[in-house]
Structure 1
Amino acid sequence: MIPETLPFSIAALIIGLALLVWSADRFIAGAAATAKNLGMSPMLIGMTIVSIGTSAPEILVSAIAAIGGNPGLAVGNALGSNIANIGLVLGITALIAPLPINMKLMRKEIPLLLGITLLAGAVMIDGQITLVDSLILVAALVLSLLWLFKGDSDSMADQEEEIPDMPQGKAIFWLLLGLALLIGSSRMLVWGAINIATSFGISDVIIGLTIVAIGTSLPELAASVASALKRHHEIALGNVVGSNIFNLLAVLPVPGFFATVVIDPDVMGRDYLTMAGLTLLVAALIVIMRKKGKLNRLEGGILSLIYIGYLYTVYLAAI
């Protein structure tokens, strides 16, 4: 029997996702403009506010889920978002238009993502995420940021263009309103997701891997598709790599700060291996296609099909 609250739960999930995406954009704009008005350098703003702010939806969803006693949703959100970023975002974007390969990305960010993926597996291999594990991942985040932005004048120039100009009063208004809506919409989304999972008798991990992960990956998908349609899609690959790094180092450790998280064996055997396999596949495709300088529709089709196959596997596990 379907609970009477199910329609409200579905509505909360949809509205929560929509508000989450919108408020994250407002929060980042307000925070970046506030920092700029206070004299912070564009590179430092990019390293901290913009970079971490883009992962704010996933971080808050994970924190609220962990506080509410649903750490499985938090872990599923982190791994599921990475899988969706590669299979869904890169796959669909490459189907629309070929993705140019940046050689700096191949030499710097891709090896870093591969290393971080192995680190995430190492801290989860014992079947749990502890406070020590979370501290290790956050320490790796700080070191990764310092290494990525050290002497990177291109990133500094790019971030300066992205930081909006607005009066300090307006910037603080959007900063505070965006933060309040981020927290409220995250609570709404988690409440709806947990109720839906309970109604259908499936685990919160599955909800985190699918509905929540896809929802929190929608901004990357929308931005990448829009850029591809405008033929300004050279940043799509870099954005996905950067987002995946932050998901593993800033989102995955969140539940471990509240309590030791026991990881379902399926998470390591199915979800982590899928994420690691897709990450390795993208790295291999970039190396193979480096002479052509782009990932074509064939590669995009392969990534998309793998993601569809993964969703079907998760669906079979849920029924």
Structure 2
Amino acid sequence: MNTTIAVALVLCVAGIVLLSFAADAFVEGAARLATIMNVSPIVIGAVIIGFGTSAPEMLVSAVAAARGDVDLGLGNVIGSNIANLSLVLGSAALIVPIAVAKEVLKREAIMATTAAIVFAAAVYRGIEPWEGAVLLILLIAAIYWVVRSGNVPPIDEFVEEGKEPKLGVESIRTLIGLVGTVGGAWILVRGATDLATEFGFDKGFVGVTLVAIGTSLPELVTTVAAARQGSTDLIVGNLLGSNLFNSLAVGAVIGFFGSDGVGSFLGSGESAPLLDITFMLIVCIGAFIAMWSREIFTRIEGLLLLTVFVAFIAMAYASEADASSAAAAAIAAIVPG
């Protein structure tokens, strides 16, 4: 194996592991700090924990955009949204049927699906800074709606009853978690871009597959664990909440930091990015329709969702292979012998 490829793979794995542990530490520390400061549990659940579930995607996409790799950042958002509603939800449904609460249908399902459509529309024409600002305003409005509803993720797992968190300890935990998450994001992006270069893949393809799966691993692990324990009440709501933050918060970050490169992502004449966005919309809208019509995901539907994810990876690879073959043919035509 090429040494550069081996190093890139190690960087990807190390970045994913560091992201997972550091993001957990950041959310735990931030939730406890907010408790010390007498912040409402509703706000902690809606804002801090909600933000924390998408911290890996947000920071990876921000780092990628800041490095000029906007296509990788966009691919990460698109792939993560697809993975949450196919790979993660499908894996959980294979273990135990997943019911969808009516409150989730009326709130998170509508907001997450709308956010995905708005994000896709913005990406299709290229996210400008002002559109990033619009996405941020929509995110604030969504958070306000969730806070007003009073139905948010519980904070019990972060703040134990009877134990008073200490300001110094939680400040250090939060800082280390934040630094570790940023560091993990940088390492993962560096490894992913090196892999793309070595294999001749488009960075968007690496973002929508390898990076997206890596940043979705925390959701996969926690969701499968919850399904195994029979704690399925919050699974769909949490995944939809993650997609909501991905589409609006991460989309806003990309708009602020990477607007110059977004147009070339879809304006280069390549069909792969458009296929990825279309597939994301099909999965998000399809899941929304399934939730409203069935209100439960059985094992058969879980297997179907996993099949959808495999089909997406196969489609992304086929599109990338076609693009690579076309590029090679063009180079051969220009440079004889």
TM-score by length of 1: 0.93
- What CA deviation, in whole Å up to 9, does each residue of 1:269-298 have, x standing for no partner? 3111111111111112112213xxx21011
> What is the deviation of 1:4?
2.8
**Are the counterparts in 2 of residues 89 and 224 from structure 1 also a CA contact under 8 Å?**
yes
Residues of 2 paired with 1:114 and 1:183: CA distance? 28
Residue number in structure 1 paired with 2:334: none
Residue number in structure 2 paired with 1:159: 154
Residues of 2 paired with 1:48 and 1:267: CA distance? 34
Residues of 2 paired with 1:198 and 1:56: CA distance? 26
Is 1:189 paired with 2:152? no
Question: Structure 1 counterpart of 2:45, which letter?
Answer: G
Residue number in structure 1 paired with 2:235: 236
Show the 5 A alignment for 1:271-290: 271-290=276-295
Residues of 2 paired with 1:119 and 1:34: CA distance? 33
> What is the deviation of 1:210?
0.4
Residue number in structure 1 paired with 2:206: 207
Aligned length: 311
Residues of 1 paired with 2:33 and 2:272: CA distance? 40
> What is the deviation of 1:92?
1.1
> What is the deviation of 1:249?
0.4
Residue ranges of structure 1 left out of the alignment (5+ in a row): none
Question: Structure 2 counterpart of 1:282, which letter?
Answer: A
Residue number in structure 1 paired with 2:104: 105
Deviates more, 1:267-276 or 1:35-44: 267-276
Instruction: Specify whether residues 46 and 267 from structure 1 end up closer, same or farther in structure 2 by C-alpha distance, changes over 3 A only.
Output: farther
Residue number in structure 1 paired with 2:308: 306
> What is the deviation of 1:162?
3.5
Question: Structure 1 counterpart of 2:299, which letter?
Answer: R
Residues of 2 paired with 1:33 and 1:97: CA distance? 32
Residues of 1 paired with 2:144 and 2:96: CA distance? 33
Residue number in structure 1 paired with 2:135: 137
**Are the counterparts in 1 of residues 71 and 207 from structure 2 also a CA contact under 8 Å?**
yes
- What CA deviation, in whole Å up to 9, does each residue of 1:171-197 have, x standing for no partner? 111111111111111111111000000
**Are the counterparts in 1 of residues 58 and 253 from structure 2 also a CA contact under 8 Å?**
yes
Residues of 1 paired with 2:226 and 2:46: CA distance? 23
> What is the deviation of 1:47?
2.5
> What is the deviation of 1:212?
0.6
Deviates more, 1:40-49 or 1:300-309: 40-49
Residue number in structure 2 paired with 1:169: 168
**Are the counterparts in 2 of residues 74 and 252 from structure 1 also a CA contact under 8 Å?**
no
Show the 5 A alignment for 1:28-177: 28-126=27-125, 128-152=126-150, 154-155=151-152, 158-165=153-160, 166-177=165-176
Residues of 1 paired with 2:185 and 2:2: CA distance? 23
Residues of 1 paired with 2:257 and 2:234: CA distance? 35
**Are the counterparts in 2 of residues 76 and 209 from structure 1 also a CA contact under 8 Å?**
yes
Question: Structure 1 counterpart of 2:148, which letter?
Answer: K
- What CA deviation, in whole Å up to 9, does each residue of 1:82-123 have, x standing for no partner? 000011001111111100110101122212222222211222
Residue number in structure 1 paired with 2:298: 296
SS in 2 for 1:30: helix
**Are the counterparts in 1 of residues 9 and 191 from structure 2 also a CA contact under 8 Å?**
yes
| Identity fraction in percent | 33
Deviates more, 1:181-190 or 1:241-250: 181-190
| RMSD over equivalenced CA pairs, Å | 1.5
Question: Structure 1 counterpart of 2:318, which letter?
Answer: L
Residues of 1 paired with 2:39 and 2:272: CA distance? 40
**Are the counterparts in 1 of residues 68 and 258 from structure 2 also a CA contact under 8 Å?**
no
Deviates more, 1:182-191 or 1:164-173: 164-173
Large movers: runs of 4+ above 4 Å = none
Structure whose alpha-carbon radius of gyration is higher: 2
Residues of 1 paired with 2:59 and 2:137: CA distance? 19
> What is the deviation of 1:159?
2.8
Residues of 1 paired with 2:104 and 2:87: CA distance? 20
Residue ranges of structure 2 left out of the alignment (5+ in a row): 322-337
**Are the counterparts in 1 of residues 64 and 70 from structure 2 also a CA contact under 8 Å?**
yes
